[in-house]
Amino acid sequence: MATTNEEVKYEIQENPSLTELSCFLENAFNALTPGDQASFDVENKGQTLKEWLDIDQVKDYLKHGFLLEARNEDGKLLGIVLFGKQNPISWPDGNKAEMFVLAVDSSTRGLGIGSKLVEMAENAAREMGAKSLILSTHVLLTADHKFYEKLGFVKIGILKEYYGNGDAVFYSKKLN
């Protein structure tokens, strides 16, 4: 039977398996929407998606960030969002949280799992005292841009050559 969002459980994971997480992210980021995948294949400047999303960066982020997971009834990992305070060392104005990575398994996209993960990250950010939630994503992930815009995120800028393989687009959403 196909998974529906009602059957999905969402939980903060405090002891993630890095092997499972790494494999999940590699699969998710190697199954972009076809147009975006094609752009990446042509314009990746020698850096693979796996290198772009290095598991060591994720491991470092987990030291101060939170990992929210979506799993089906059998325990299969269907989606993740990794989020936390922006610049946790100083958190200068104390009011921004960020989403570091968001991904949903390619077989269960379009069911609302990604939207639910973002909504839960927004709620957790509000509880931390954040007034806005920011994120950066690759300029070539156009389907992803539409997804964030639909959820109320506003484009706040582009940083040229921010990633090893191209420009980053920054988005922000006010948390009321």
> Which positions touch ligand COA (CB under 6 A)?
28-29, 32-33, 102-104, 109-115, 137, 141, 143-144, 146-147, 150
Least CB distance from residue 168 to ligand COA, whole Å? 10
Residue 55 CA to residue 58 CA, distance in Å, equals: 5
CB of 80 to ligand COA, least distance (A): 9
We find the least distance from the C-beta atom of residue 129 to ligand COA, in angstroms, to be 24
Q: CA 135, 141, 142 angle in degrees (round to 5)?
A: 105
Q: Which is nearer to ligand COA, 48 or 115 (CB)?
A: 115
Q: In angstroms, what is the minimal distance from the CB of 93 to ligand COA?
A: 24
Helix, strand, coil % over all residues of the chain, rounded to 5? 35, 30, 35
Tokens representing 161 are 């050559």
Q: For ligand COA, which is the closer residue by CB, 16 or 83?
A: 83
Other C-beta atoms closer than 10 Å to the C-beta of 125 total 26
C-alpha closest to that of 109 among 53, 40, 27, 170: 27
User: Which of residues 111 and 124 has its CB atom nearest to ligand COA in the complex?
Assistant: 111
